[in-house]
Amino acid sequence: MRFSTIAPVALAALASAAPTGTLNARSYDGGDKCIPYDVAIGIETAWISTLTNFDLATAQNLLYPGLVDNSASIQLLAGGDLNAPIFTSAQAYEGGQGSLPPIGFTVLDLASITCDGVISLRWVADVGTKALPVHGITILKSIQVGTDEAVGPNGWQLKEINTEFNSAAWLADIGGSYTLPPPPTTS
């Protein structure tokens, strides 16, 4: 499912408004090399663009070949296994995500960036009728696979995506309906 629509200018503004430099934290392996803040913002921005204005070249550069994309929210809407990944490779993501229409997307909070490339953000999406805001959270996990722009932003690629959101609001906005379960009975 597409979660975002931010114009390229807005994406550039988001990236340029963020402070640059290296995070002052240590990676989990005890090393002292961290993902630079501007690279993490570049990964977030490129991921958002795959949802708002899909470009195959951007996706191929950003996504690690063994990418895994997880979301019980999406699986619920798709009628799939809530415990199964949505996509299990970059190629599957490109084929699936690249075929979906864009939606409105606003980052509410860039909650954290860890030294080892984990980026978490809260967002709100506008889909379909836009009657209900769709609030969600995404955790992006990136890895360093090189040292330059030849692969991903400065050698970092997106390895895992974990997204959950208000699927009932999404469903209502795209014209679906749901029935709340009856309240529990008391004896």
Average pLDDT on 175-187 reads 83
pLDDT confidence of residue 179: 81
Give the span between the Cα atoms of 2 and 102, in whole angstroms: 6
Quickly count: other Cβ atoms within 10 Å of residue 84's Cβ.
10
pLDDT confidence of residue 15: 36
pLDDT per residue over 117-167, tens digit each? 999 999 999 999 999 999 999 999 999 998 776 777 888 999 999 999 999
pLDDT confidence of residue 31: 42
Residue 164, beta-bridge partner list: 137
Quickly count: other Cβ atoms within 10 Å of residue 99's Cβ.
9
pLDDT confidence of residue 27: 38
1 pLDDT higher than 90: no
| Domain ranges for the chain | 8-173
Quickly count: other Cβ atoms within 10 Å of residue 60's Cβ.
14
pLDDT confidence of residue 32: 52
Average pLDDT on 68-83 reads 96
| For the chain, percent of residues with pLDDT exceeding 90 | 66
pLDDT per residue over 36-68, tens digit each? 999 999 999 999 999 999 999 999 999 999 999
7 pLDDT higher than 60: no
pLDDT confidence of residue 39: 92
22 pLDDT higher than 70: no
Quickly count: other Cβ atoms within 10 Å of residue 83's Cβ.
8
Q: Return the CATH class of domain 8-173.
A: alpha beta
Query: What letter does residue 98 receive in the DSSP assignment?
Result: T
Average pLDDT on 58-84 reads 96
pLDDT per residue over 111-129, tens digit each? 999 999 999 999 999 999 9
